[in-house]
Amino acid sequence: MNRICGIASEVDAEGKKVKGDAMLSLVASIHLNEAMDGYIDRNKKGGDHSLSLAYVRATILDMRKKVDKQWVIWVEDQIRWIRTNPGVPLNGKRAGIFASISRLPTYLDHVLICCKAGRPKDYTPNLAKIKVVSYYLQKMASSVFASLNECAERESTDQQYAANVMRMENSYFFTQSIKQRGIELTALFQKQITGASVICKQSTDAYLGWMIKREFKAMHSLFSNISRVRKEVGDADVPIHVPRAQFVRTLQKESSKEIMKEKISVVYARMEKHLSESGGLLPVAWKALVKVLYEWFGRWEKLCTSCYKFILEPSAIDVVRIAKVASGSASSTGKRNVDGRSEKHKYVSV
């Protein structure tokens, strides 16, 4: 019985030894937990019948303690491995999906396949209701986020963009990969999914802001200054502090339609370079960036109109159109070469 349940044994008289199998132990624990429900004296008959059921339950519980111990040892080993941050570059650039995060959904798939073997097709174990299993699976999931946070905050990690990219990619991958595996696993990891969603939003907002400020540096600086002055003196007096000539000259240099096309294409190429294919985040992040561009240019349009009676060209809507064209053309022409970089964008700076 111990061998069937994956429990390791000491060397016997013949020199034989059974190696522990953590997967067998976990599956055994799940099935034993379910089996216990069949040995409850629901009708409260008492007497020998009730004692017999109690004896069987005690026997099952004793076996469960053994298999749980075997599996928990394996989980703790995995957590120690996770905290070594395997495969994550020191500067954090193009880290992609961490090995620990990419392997967790695959492990869960393996668990479910093993548990469903020989069962009806619609059977799915409710792992969230098994306290030991639920606790240690969540502990393992929490450890990958502890590792992610440690990698993002260490001194060697690039804080301009790499820290935010690794956070947004890995948190997004975790959330999507768990949700795609059904309501049972989603319920089990609900706490981690909620935390991952917060991490993803905060890091994405920071990354997109950095991208826009970097590529539209002069325009961002101009309108930030105008916005500050406007709060202090009102719309009418803004041109006194930020001369119209300076204002128009900056927009003529930075905001023509052709320049905008070039800048947005560079932004897309840079994002394509930063984000890994395995993460699947590029289309989502680009859609979010286009939304932010629309919001920023919309605010800048209003400032132009209210303070200078000037029409900003291209408009916020035009910028969205340019962005959609940029992503479409890049997707059709930017083919990946051997080392995973785009031929078209391989010379784009960070």
Distances in whole angstroms, Cα of residue 72 to Cα of each of 21, 56, 139, 236, 270: 12, 24, 11, 69, 43
Domain residue limits, the chain: 1-82, 84-199, 216-333
Per-run averaged pLDDT (10 residues), the chain, 350 residues: 70 64 88 80 67 79 88 95 92 92 94 90 89 95 96 93 95 96 94 96 95 94 95 94 94 92 94 93 94 95 95 94 84 45 42
Q: Are 237 and 308 in contact (CB under 8 A)?
A: no
Burial string for 120-137 (b: 16+ CB within 10 Å, else e) reads eeeebbebbebebbbebb
Q: What is the helix (H) or strand (E) element at residue 340, kind and residue range?
A: none
pLDDT at 337: 39
Instruction: For 15-41, write each residue's pLDDT tens digit.
Output: 666 677 888 889 888 988 888 877 776
Residue 39 φ then ψ, to 5°: -125, 45
Contact 124, 135 (CB under 8 A): no
Q: Which residues pair with 336 in a beta bridge?
A: 342
Distance CA 38, CA 88 (A): 48
* 91-139 per-position pLDDT tens digit: 989 899 999 999 999 999 999 999 998 888 888 888 998 999 999 999 9
Distance CA 56, CA 52 (A): 6
- The widest CA-to-CA distance across the chain, in whole angstroms, is 99
Q: What is the pTM of this model?
A: 0.84
Q: Would you say 345 and 330 are in contact if contact means Cβ atoms under 8 Å apart?
A: yes
